[in-house]
Amino acid sequence: MSLTLSVLDLAPIAPGQSAGDSIAASVALARAAEEHGYRRVWYAEHHNMPHIASSAPAVLIAHVGAHTSSIRLGAGGVMLPNHSPLAIAEQFGTLEAMYPGRIDLGLGRAPGSDEATTYALRRDPSQSAQFPEDVAELRAYLAGRSRVPGVQATPGNGLNVPLYVLGSSTFGAHLAARLGLPYAFASHFAPQQLRAAVVSYRNEFQPSEQLAEPYVIAGVNVVAADTTAAARESFAQVQRRFATSLFGRGRTFTEAEVDILMETAAGQHVQQMQHYSAVGTPGDVRSYLEEFQREAGADELIVAHQALSTDARLRSVRLLAEAVEGATV
């Protein structure tokens, strides 16, 4: 079975590391993904999260692009309510001018953080309601058919950077189908509506200039290691850190306190969020992903390699690629 694989890099800042260390790790991860045949690497916009360094995807893409040569790079995604469509068209038009044929632009409607951070970004929370109109305006800038008289995106005008609609519910599925755009579902942390969203998208899809047939990308967590025990331990560390970050509100926990947290409803919630996770030896991970692709009805899987250390993530990238005899490009 052929698996088309890509990488979702969450740019984690590991314990004891700096944001600079995280960015260097992102470069290493992209280079490894390129070497081993993955199709693309995407970066997700997050704000006010001390353990994640991907608050400015366009800047990160520009840096990684200078250290790679062929792999596609993109946002997975830009949270469009945080920005004006013109600004994003100009940013990703600039990236396309720098790295022709290598840039993707995934768009989400969530703010990417909490209410206080939305205020700090000077955004109106109701802006999310304008998401379909903002996508259409952005698309028009990139197609060279601006909807705003006298305003063009430079760079960006007519460069047709491919757009993707991101979602964790059926809302994005309906929109992507109506606009004839590829659809990427965030099943790596929001598994509940995956099947319903994909069915809706495929049933409602209308062809566009960009896309003739529906195309689904599904997110999934992966930890491939030399032994099952090592993979499980690595993933458990990630889940523990995620739980303390999500529910700790800045607190410092002892290991015993984290043990207790993971037994509570909060800890169980984290495990439910990461329901779709392939953890184990390379063969185990490949088998899981083949079944997940069938279950999800996905054309492509975008993989979040979940480990605290850069070395463990890089090894997971390599082991998975070798297990599928090189990801399809």
pLDDT tens for each residue of 54-94:
999 999 999 999 999 999 999 999 999 999 999 999 999 99
pLDDT for res 329: 44
Q: What is the mean pLDDT of the chain?
A: 94
Q: 97-152 pLDDT, tens per residue?
A: 999 999 999 999 986 567 788 888 877 777 788 999 999 999 999 999 999 999 99
d(CA 211, CA 180): 6
CB 223 within 8 A of CB 235: yes
β-strand partners of 301: 5, 218
> Strands 216-224, 277-280: parallel, antiparallel or unpaired by DSSP?
parallel
Per-residue pLDDT of 160-193, as tens digits, reads: 999 999 999 999 999 999 999 999 999 999 999 9
With CA atoms as reference, report the closest residue to 94 among 133, 67, 61.
61
- Domain spans of the chain, in order of start: 5-224+277-326
Among the listed residues 324, 322, 321, 323, the one whose alpha carbon sits nearest the alpha carbon of residue 7: 321
Residue 131: the pLDDT is: 95
- Convert the pLDDT of each residue in 111-122 to its tens digit: 656 778 888 887
φ, ψ (nearest 5 deg) of residue 10: -85, 0
Q: Is the pLDDT of residue 1 over 50?
A: no
Beta bridge partners of 75: 43, 105
Around Cβ 140, how many Cβ atoms within 10 Å? 16
- Tell me the torsion sign for CA atoms 254, 221, 219, 189: negative
pLDDT above 70: percentage of residues in the chain: 97
Average pLDDT (196-224) is 98
Q: Does the pLDDT value for residue 50 go beyond 90? A: no
Measured CA to CA, the distance from residue 15 to residue 216 in angstroms comes to: 34
CATH of domain 5-224+277-326: 3.20.20.30
Query: In angstroms, rounded to a whole number, what is the distance separating the alpha carbons of residues 72 and 44?
Result: 15
Token digits of residue 245? 């970050």
Instruction: Give 186-242 as a DSSP string.
Output: -TTT--TTHHHHHHHHHHH----SS-SS--EEEEEEEEE-SSHHHHHHHHHHHHHHH
Give the integer Cα–Cα distance in Å for 19 and 11.
Answer: 9
Other C-beta atoms closer than 10 Å to the C-beta of 70 total: 9
- In this predicted structure, what is the pLDDT of residue 212? 98
Torsional sign, CA 279, 283, 287, 293 = positive
**pLDDT of 267-318, one tens digit each?**
899 999 999 999 999 999 999 999 999 999 999 999 999 999 999 999 999 9
Number of H helices, E strands in the chain: 12, 9
Which DSSP category does 265 fall into? H
The answer for 325, left when phi > 0, alpha when psi is -120 to 50, beta otherwise, is left
